[in-house]
Amino acid sequence: MLGNLKRCIVIEVHSSNRIEVSPIGVVHRQGPDEDINDRSLVSKIVIDEEYADGLPGIEDWSHLHVIFWMDRISEEKKTLLCRGNEPDMPTVGIFATRAPVRPNPIGLTLVELVRREGNVFVVKGLDALDGTPVLDVKPYPYWVKGSWIVVTKYRVPAYLRKINK
């Protein structure tokens, strides 16, 4: 899909504030029929050669936050209101959900780093489709002033407390 953008000339009026980002790599999956929500499945992140020098040391971390661009979300699918799939789920604002049909279809998933093979990460638990552009990879957890930031006490909506544990 992104291939369409290659080597074309774009003339446009920036009527609002926009930002340009370049993917640093791409997701490779075993097959198109995989259940991306199966967190036991392994997939690969292939980092572009031009960014490979940014990788050494990442194998000292067991977990990574992967930030990706959900490029199969068309403009028509995007919405500001969303209702969950389960029965009795209310309609809420898109920013109160993780639904991909959001204004900027940015994905964020915490994965386990199985191993690094050169410029390829083998990861477990990534819920991104085959071919998804990756924008950034960050180690987990992060730290501020000598403390790891790991939040284990949190409040969630009642309608989700009923279906998750």
Subset of residues 85 to 124 that bind a copy of itself, contact rule: CB under 8 A: 90, 92-98, 102-104, 106, 108-110
Contact letters for a copy of itself, residues 26-65 (x by CB under 8 A)? -----------xxx-------x---x-xxxxxx-xxxx-x
Does residue 83 touch a copy of itself according to CB under 8 A?
no
Distance, CA of 45 to CA of 27 (rounded, Å): 5
SS3 140: strand
Tell the smallest beta-carbon distance from residue 162 to a copy of itself (Å).
10
Q: In a 3-state reduction of DSSP, which class is residue 74?
A: coil
Alpha carbon of 137 to those of 68, 76, 94, 111, 155: distances in Å? 9, 28, 24, 10, 27
Interface pick for a copy of itself out of 28, 124, 130, 141 (rule CB under 8 A): 141
Position of tokens 């971390």?
61
Closest approach, Cβ 31 to a copy of itself, in A, equals 20
